[in-house]
Structure 1
Amino acid sequence: MNTLRRIDLNLLVILDALLAERHVTRAAERLHLSQPAVSHALARLRELLDDPLLERVGSVLVPTPRALDLVEPLAEALAKVEALLTPDVFEPAVARRSFRLAMSDYGAALLLPNLVRDLRREAPGIDLVITQGSRDAVLDQLLNGEIDLAAGVFPNMPQELRSASLFEESFACLLDKSTLSSGGKLTLANYLARPHVGVGRGGGAVEVGQALTAIREHRRVAVALPHWSVAPQLIAGTDLILTVASRVLRQIRHPELAVVPVPFKVPAFSFVLVWHQRRDDEQALTWLRERIAENACAD
């Protein structure tokens, strides 16, 4: 390691050219350097490696045994350095890799159907692994490199993480049409008097609860669920009310169900995509972020 600190990598490039050309002037022309600069570099290399490297025999320079031993490993080392410093070119059509994404089933319902269709068409070698967890757990996974991306609601994030808003979201209520008043409206009094389905992990239970607390009211949650997917199936034929983010309700097509505004103010929120700042310039991940954003905007 101490020797490496003393070596300018440019010296190795010059040595590679000298061993190939076996001529100082031609090596200088090959590298677009002056002849004195190459001669000076050769002198430094001889000192560092404690070997003449190239010896003049008549009118030509002949590599020493030590120099000949260096030819192959030097070429391999320079190739590896060049590969390390050359940005990867990500080609979706031929790429083969796996991405790990964290999102609730709400986020999955909104983002995955179109995204997966796009991937199968444009990047069939890309695999997705979807996980779910609490907001704090997901942020820790991003910081630790356990996942590549997270989609969801993250009002407070560590400074090492980056985010991009996919869309602004608001809340709505889903209920059986037969339980609405003749005017088709849901009043605050009726809302508070009826039982509710509460959904955690991205379904809005926290935000709805906070909004009710702000007006000094509360609701009775008759069915508490950790995920969203089954919640709409519990509403038809009952007096239950489901209050969730409104975009996901657009997918519901049921003749007995109605989507109505929430009868009190629940602040809108931003649904974001989050990644670690150290991966800002990673081509593959940037491409995937763009595909997710395009599908979210198209919804």
Structure 2
Amino acid sequence: MRTPEILVQFSFRIYGIEMVDIRTFDLNLIRILDALLDEGSVTGAASRLGLTQPAVSGALARLRHALGDPLFVRAQRGVVPTPRALDLALSVKRVLREAEAILQPSAFDPASAQFQVSVSASDYTQRVLLTPFLSILGRDAPGLRLAIRPLLGGSLLPLMARGSVDLALLTLEEAPEQLISRRLFDDRYVCAMRRGHPLSAGVLNLDAFCDLKHALVSPQGGGFRGRVDAALDVLGRSRHVAVSVPSFLALLDILAETDLIAAIPERLVRSAPDLEQQPLPVAVPEFTIIAAWHERTRHDPAQNWLRARLADFAGAA
């Protein structure tokens, strides 16, 4: 950090090592000295700083003691600085400017920055959002290295806390409540099938839907039930799930090569030219994809830029 270096330099030049210990000196006195130099009066300095006149007078007394000089003497109107105070003026301004610069958010230029971000996402959000977003990143932030990881479920929060993952793309329901989040987009389920499927030209009613063989994604592997089955249960109906796969990308290939159908997110179907869609004959709730991150990166300028750019891209896609 630069702050100690600046203040040590200040103590060397102004106070002298033998006179003042920077570790015990009240640094607020520097602001008061600057205000007195600018205003030329205790009253004016007090008004500028939002302090009382006695408080500024007390601070001036402490400055005089620390520096071994009167610093200001009374005049017909206000106070005038001594030669020692005038000699300090430029140094005081410089130190305050540098201190203010330290407290300002660091500037971030994506075009020249070299940085790395780790994103946890399902293959669905990788396909419909991250893959097309890469062309934007390559153009606007050529120095970015993006590490894309699978969606990590229950281990996400501790991984984010220790910095192994910076950003997660997941549904609102999947996100740990301790994370900060931002909505990216909404999606809905449709019935997907290969182009030229025997039922692609007709209207898919509930009976036909239940009679056909289905495929679905089971992220943990081995499952044969999903959101559609819960909706069918309400109607007292069921379907035959013939194939269960662990990823959406595998499911797209299966649908393109077989007569199986599947209820999948509409954006995913739009990304697969070999597939077409029909409305589901059963009501399945829409879902929301969000970006989620840990408090650790809330104020990081590179992370803030990436999150904002991603949100803009998701909203326009």
TM-score (norm 1): 0.72
1:19-98 correspondence to structure 2 within 5 Å: 33=45, 40-41=58-59, 43-44=61-62, 53-54=67-68, 82-98=100-116
Please identify, of 97-106 and 277-286, the stretch whose mean Cα deviation from structure 2 is larger: 277-286
Give the CA deviation at 1:286. Answer: 2.4
Partner residue in 1 for 2:268: 248
Select which of 253, 269, 291 maps to 2:287.
Answer: 269
The secondary structure found in structure 1 opposite 2:256 is coil
Query: Is 1:153 aligned to 2:171, yes or no?
Result: yes
Relative to structure 2, which stretch is displaced further, 229-238 or 120-129? 229-238
1:46: how far off? 7.8
Structure 1 residues 140, 190: CA separation in 2 closer, same or farther (over 3 Å shift)? farther
Give the structure 2 partner of residue 126 of structure 1.
144
2:245 maps to which of 203, 225, 232: 225
Alpha-carbon shift at residue 153 of structure 1 (Å): 0.7
- Provide closer, same or farther for how the CA distance between residues 213 and 144 of structure 1 changes in structure 2, counting only shifts above 3 A: farther
Q: Map 1:137-148 onto structure 2 (within 5 A).
A: 137-148=155-166
Residues 141-186 of structure 1: CA distance to partner in whole angstroms, max 9, x if unpaired?
3455432221121226454423222222111122245543485222
1:108 equivalent in alignment to 2:151: no
Sort the Cα spacing of 1:207 and 1:38 in 2 relative to 1 into closer, same or farther, 3 A.
Answer: same
In 2 relative to 1, CA 133–76 (structure 1 residues): closer, same or farther, beyond 3 Å? farther
What SS does the aligned partner of 1:289 have?
helix
Of 147, 163, 169, 2:187 maps to 169
Query: What are the superposed Cα offsets for residues 96-120 of structure 1, whole Å, 9 maximum, x if unpaired?
Result: 1111211111101111233211111
Are 1:239 and 2:275 matched, yes or no? no
Q: 1:243 to 1:134 in 2, by over 3 A?
A: farther
After superposition, the C-alpha distances for 1:205-248 in whole angstroms (9 at most, x for unaligned) are 64334323333444333322221112111123423112210111
- Secondary structure of residue in 1 paired with 2:283: coil
Tell me if structure 2 keeps the 8 A contact 1:115–1:291: no
Residues 156, 104 of structure 1: CA spacing in aligned structure 2 closer, same or farther, 3 A cutoff?
A: closer
Q: Answer whether contact 2:269 2:276 (CA < 8 A) is retained.
A: no
2-side partners of 1:213 and 1:143: how far apart? 39
What's the secondary structure of 2:292's corresponding residue?
strand
Find the residue that maps to 1:185 and give its secondary structure. coil
Name the counterpart of 1:199: 217
In 1: Cα distance, 2:64 partner to 2:100 partner: 24
Task: Give the 3-state SS of the residue equivalent to 1:128 in structure 2.
Answer: strand
Q: Which moved more, 1:129-138 or 1:267-276?
A: 129-138
8 Å contact 2:215–2:241 — kept in the other structure?
Answer: yes
1:189 Cα offset (Å): 2.4
Amino acid at match of 1:251: S
C-alpha distance in 1 between matches for 2:64 and 2:278: 82
1:293 maps to 311
Give the letter aligned to residue 189 of structure 1.
D
Query: Residues 205 and 150 (structure 1 numbering): CA distance in 2 closer, same or farther, change over 3 Å?
Result: farther
The total of aligned residue pairs comes to: 273
Percent identity of paired positions between Structure 1 and Structure 2: 33
- Tell me, which stretches of 5 or more residues in structure 2 are unaligned? 1-20, 47-52, 71-81, 86-90
- Specify whether residues 209 and 5 from structure 1 end up closer, same or farther in structure 2 by C-alpha distance, changes over 3 A only: farther
CA distance in 1, matches of 2:254, 2:161: 37
Q: Would you say the 8 A contact 1:172–1:259 is kept in 2?
A: yes
